[in-house]
Amino acid sequence: MTYVLYLDAYHLGDPLFLQGLARWVAQAGAQRPPLWLVHGSGERAERLLEAQGLFPERSGGVWTVTRPEERALVERALRETNRTIVATLTDAVVPAVGIHGIDRNLMRRQADGTVVVGRIGWVRDLARQRVVPVLSTLVTDAASGQPGEAAAGAVLRALAEAMRPEAVTAVALLKADTPGIRQEGKTLAEVPAEALAGGDWLPDPAPVEALAAAGVPVLLTNRRGLLAPDGPLGTRVC
């Protein structure tokens, strides 16, 4: 089983979380399953845009940027965030490689917002060699040929589909630092996807809802649950 962990803006904004995740990955060592990390621009894009007096809105989890200077700042945020994650993993002696969806024509975003994956074998080979691919959602726009940020749900879904028949589970991190959703002192084995929007469990339920609608298995957990000694723990989305 390969696990694709989505790092949302809520967790990306916490440097102590990233350091803790890196330590847990390092401690898991050779026992951990193949792991990919996927991230967007997080809060860094917002700070860069506001510093220049630019205030675009978010739509579908991405910035609705139209001007070249706006697109350049979002791309800068994605690249800087990617370098930060890779550096944090490397400092914990975890082999990691920063990758963007635009690299080697890896990903293209269609006019309807869906993402198409091209050659992915070279990234899969890295994960099989115990390297952690750190993939940003910076992809090539099929119409303009320009780089841009894609919705996390679309990227995660495209990855899961491209990696079949290999077993892939997407992982979303809970706001509460628990290995699964707990109610009445017990961890729920499953939770319906339609219940996610009404709960306060996830910082951003939209990507999980998109994955569940596409039939992609999703595990809700924390860093400890993902790398538990006897296998990942958490709540499955049904």
pLDDT band at 61 (very low <50, low <70, confident <90, very high): confident
Q: Closest Cα to residue 122, out of 141, 105, 137, 109? A: 105
Q: What fold is seen in the domain 2-42+75-237? A: Carbamate kinase (3.40.1160)
Sheet holding 115-117, edge to edge: 115-117, 107-109, 138-141, 147-149
Q: Are 85 and 18 in contact (CB under 8 A)?
A: yes
Q: Closest Cα to residue 123, out of 38, 41, 42, 208? A: 38
Q: Break the chain into its structural domains and give their ranges.
A: 2-42+75-237
If you search the block for the tokens 């609608």, which residue do you land on?
213
Question: Which residues have C-beta within 8 Å of that of residue 84, sequence separation ≥ 6?
Answer: 18
- Residue 86 corresponds to which amino acid? V
How much is the average pLDDT of 111-132? 93
Which pLDDT belongs to residue 89? Answer: 97
- Residue 205 corresponds to which amino acid? P
pLDDT band at 198 (very low <50, low <70, confident <90, very high): confident
Q: Are 95 and 131 in contact (CB under 8 A)?
A: yes
pLDDT band at 164 (very low <50, low <70, confident <90, very high): confident
State yes or no: pLDDT of 187 exceeds 90: yes
Let me know if 33 is exposed, middle or buried by CB neighbors in 10 A (0-12, 13-18, 19+).
middle
Residue 172 CA from chain centroid, whole number: 8
How much is the average pLDDT of 155-179? 93
Which pLDDT belongs to residue 38? Answer: 97
Which pLDDT belongs to residue 154? Answer: 94
Which pLDDT belongs to residue 75? Answer: 96
State yes or no: pLDDT of 60 exceeds 80: no
Q: Which of the 8 DSSP states describes residue 60?
A: T
Strand bridging mode 115-117 / 2-7? unpaired
The pTM assigned to this predicted structure is 0.94
How large is the C-alpha radius of gyration of the chain? 17
Question: Residue 150 and residue 62: Cα distance in Å, rounded?
Answer: 7
pLDDT band at 91 (very low <50, low <70, confident <90, very high): very high
Which range among 147-151, 190-194, 226-230 shows the weakest confidence by mean pLDDT? 226-230
How much is the average pLDDT of 153-174? 93
State yes or no: pLDDT of 215 exceeds 80: yes
- Residue 21 corresponds to which amino acid? L
Which pLDDT belongs to residue 222? Answer: 94
Q: Are 36 and 159 in contact (CB under 8 A)?
A: yes
Which range among 61-70, 169-178, 179-188 shows the weakest confidence by mean pLDDT? 61-70
pLDDT band at 45 (very low <50, low <70, confident <90, very high): very high
Which pLDDT belongs to residue 230? Answer: 86
Question: Residue 106 and residue 85: Cα distance in Å, rounded?
Answer: 20
Which pLDDT belongs to residue 57? Answer: 86
